[in-house]
Chain A
Amino acid sequence: MSTLTLIAAVAFAFQANPDALSESAARLAQRGRADEAAALWQRALTAQPGHFPSLFNLGFLRQSQNRNEEAAVLLARAAKVKPSDFSTRYIHGTVLLKLDRRDAALHEWRAAIAAQPGNFKLLQIMAVEYSNGHYYREACDAARLALALKSDTPDVWMIAIQACHDARDPSVLELTRGAAEKFPANARANFEYGYQLRRAGLREESLPYLKKAMEADASYEEPYFFYGESLLLEDRYEEAASHLRTALRIRPDYMPACIALAKALMGQDRLEDASAELQRCSQGNSNHPQPHLLLSQIYFQLGKEEEASREKDLSLKLRRAHPEFMESPQTRPFPVPGK
């Protein structure tokens, strides 16, 4: 008789003891015998429906098997038994997110954080998910809490900067300054600070940081795009085009840079060049409406009215089919019961 068979036999003998069943099941699970483990946890739950270790472990097993609906039910039951158990709430949240139930996931994570307020990693995850749910205010708050716990890597700063930028939080300029000071050789940290300085109307002050970003990482396209776009606003079309071309060399499918380049060329009355550029972009991203919108204007100016009309119609059709390209999501408060 093997050891495991012995365990099973002992477990059978003590079938009325849920703790013993659960511990046996856990040992089976650790040996990869998931079906047998699950059967034991089920028996433990038959004997005691609120048996927390069985609820949790069977729930965890089901999520690891990608049986998320079952996992969610089990973990919800476990959370009722032990509402302040961090692991239960955390894993339940991840399961709910896999099931596309972001709000429910965030509710679980809020409970997990209440149990373990110093969990930096979960705060980061929550910041990202709040942002994905367009709960930008909450995203910014979570990211700043994470940053207060641990600020030694650029990533945590960037999550906070993005979240607080989306939340239109007044602290974002200060956050970017802090990141640029802490990571002076980091391209994105410098870019973000330069970007926020420019947004605050401090154009001259922004330029050194944008240049530092370009020097720190010549393969980072965003500073080139932003610099070019700034020049475009000042009608400095040739200089703008140069930077925008660099951004596009780095990332050929970078649509905002492509659109801006086309505008820079249109500003120089180089309609044919702009048209060629837009056609190239639209081949790279055939669902984006913007190249076709500008193409309709260029063709119309060139007297090609049929082509202009065709591009106009295509642009509108793509806009309706793919609203995500041109429409911003609404920020909204996270729904908290009782508030």
Chain B
Amino acid sequence: MLHTGWLVTVLLTCSGLAAGQGMISGNARPLARVKASGRPWPVSFVDVAAEAGLTAKMTSGNETKKKFVIEANGSGVAFLDFDNDGRLDVFLVNGSRLEGFPAGQAPTNKLYRNIGKGRFTDVTKAAHMDHSGWGNGVCAGDVNNDGFLDLYVTYYGRNVMHLNNGDGTFTDDTERSGTGGLGDEWSTGCTFIDYDRDGHLDLLVTSYLQFDPRSTPLPGKFPFCYWKGSPVYCGPRGLPYGRLTLYHNRGDGTFEDVSVASGIRAVKNFYAFTAITADLDSDGWPDLYIASDSTPSIFLQNRHNGTFRDIATECGLAYNDNGSEQAGMGLAVADFDNDGRIDITKTNFIGDYPNLYRNLGRGFFSDISVKAGLAVNPDYVVWGTGFVDLDNDGWQDILQVTGHVYPEVAQISASESYKRPRLVYRNLGNGRFEDVSSLSGPGILQEHSSRGAAFGDFDNDGHMDVLVMNMHEPPSLLRNDSHSPHHWVKIQLQGVRSNRAAIGATVSIQSSGMRQTQAVLSQSSFLSVNDLRLHFGLGAAGAVDHITVAWPSGVTEEFPGVPAGELYLLVEGSGQAKPLPLPK
């Protein structure tokens, strides 16, 4: 036998292109954690959804295997006081499934009225909110300035404007308002914004991608239809991009599509999710920031003349600190370092870190997530998020809800799973955060595949709670059973020249030398709506010394200090802070 005589050893290496993937994933590793502060963490969450009566199971396509990306993204939720009784009610956006439902059996969105003492009652039908369809996002605002919050819900299909009648019911005002869209789009994010400061809320709607099940490729069909070597649903990469639509409120209840004239439509090539509006460059005009999946995120700067321009790249908001695109999902805005400027955090896909965009002033931002200690949990797909002062120490903490997009992912990769716990980061007050998830109670440790999340104090006990959308399950209502001794105050704004819900306003309070700043948002987290009442922890301070409101009208107004432990109504132009009841 001669064959072994010719052997030669050849070390061959070939370079190969990156394996295809539908979503941007950075293969990031968890970075070292900061040494534990050792400070007591008084926050503990418990899920009280079932006992509160929030029992509706959410629908979003097939539970075990997703054929198309539309089944994977879930929907938003809202904490809002729709009946002005001082208690936060709950609105849940529901999805659908590809094969549809028999007549009369399709799941609907859900509206639950808070009846006090931690209980909710389902008023969906009575309130005429039993709308079916493939719902995605929700945003809130007082479109007609009548003192009652209206809701806009985005769909794969026709979007719906729900006008609040003020008597516990809503009217579908989509047709008259002209805000339904084309009817075949997959809309996701939305936010009310008074971009021309005329006192009437306009509306921005984002769409994720152009989806048609008849033409969308099936799992494994293209390189972008794989996850770690296994065929999964395709997208978003490789699928046709979404678009932005801006509706101008004429002030008579009807809207006009100004997407082209405003420059919004010129922004192209993105897969857009959550949209927020706030004055990010401190020029007195509301801007827009949109989290985009697997494409650069979008910062639409208001040019004061009815037009916008996307300067996310120039301002440091399009990519992460490393210059990489990310799969942006959720957004939260607040002044995390108490320097008077609104900062942003954005959640992303697995294998990546969340962003913490520190506002450097004049509209420039720097992603400091690594420096801030937030780069410690890249093994999560993160969706809803909030800047929220969980322990009332005067510093905005961060809470995130998580869950993978592929139900079968554990069979693909042993280190991944569809359901994951929530994440909580305590703001240490020195520009850094520490992961206190394991200390934050059973509600945080529960594993779900969550998407939307809303932040608010549903039991009015002075501790911020969380409402969470769970895929194919009822929602979670995470009650914050904090035993923090710290004080707090809540502020509710009422615009007069500005839109009545004061969407886009910025509030700064000063107490014991500490300055905190928050914005009133129509949408944030992941396609969700937070309590529009702003909650400020005060630490040991028993009172607020001074309040400044930058109204959406462009007027800045000063208000006197107030004692802690109350909710105050600040009416534009009144100069007075009026206490409001906080019914349990």
Contact = CB atoms under 8 A, between A and B. Distances in A.
Contacts of A57: 2-3, 6
Interface string A68-101: 0000000000000000000110110010011010
A2 interface: no
Contacts of A22: 2
Nearest to A232: B371
Contact of A26 (B2, B15, B27, B227): B2
Interface residues of A, number: 60
A333 B226 CA distance: 12
A259 interface: yes
Interface stretch (A129-137, A174-182, A187-195, A238-246): A129-137
B241 to A, nearest CB: 13
Given A26-B2, A57-B3, A132 B13 contact: yes
A129 B314 contact: no
A315 B413 contact: no
Contacts of A42: none
Contact of A335 (B4, B229, B351): B229
A333 B411 CA distance: 11
Contact of B26 (A26, A328, A333): A328
Contacts of A124: 11
A87 B3 contact: yes
Contacts of A323: 18
B103 interface: no
Contact of B313 (A94, A97, A100, A315): A315
A312 B3 contact: no
A253 interface: no
A67 interface: no
A90 to B, nearest CB: 8
A315 B316 CA distance: 14
- Is the contact region of chain A dominated by helix, strand, or loop, or is it mixed? helix
A337 interface: no
Given A26-B2, A56-B3, A293-B319, A330 B27 contact: yes
B513 to A, nearest CB: 24
Interface in B1-57: 1-4, 6-7, 9-19, 21, 24-29, 31-35
A293 B18 contact: no
A301 interface: yes
Contacts, number: 125
A121 B27 CA distance: 29
A300 interface: yes
Contact of B314 (A100, A296, A331): A296
In this complex, the member of B12, B15, B33 whose beta carbon has the largest number of chain A beta carbons within 10 angstroms is B12
Contacts of B84: none
A97 B14 contact: yes
Contacts of B324: 326-327
Contacts of A233: 370-371
A23 B2 contact: yes
B239 to A, nearest CB: 15
Interface string A216-227: 000000000000
A308 B34 CA distance: 37
A57 B27 CA distance: 44
B413 A91 contact: no
A236 interface: no
A328 B314 CA distance: 24
Contacts of B314: 296-297, 299-300, 305, 308-309, 312
B477 to A, nearest CB: 35
A102 B2 contact: no
5 contacts: A60-B3, A134-B16, A259-B323, A328-B25, A329-B27
Interface of A: 22-23, 26, 53, 56-57, 60, 64, 87-88, 90-91, 94, 97-98, 100, 102, 121, 124-125, 128-129, 132-134, 168, 198-202, 233, 259, 289-290, 293-294, 296-297, 299-301, 305, 308-309, 312, 315-316, 319, 323-324, 326-333, 335
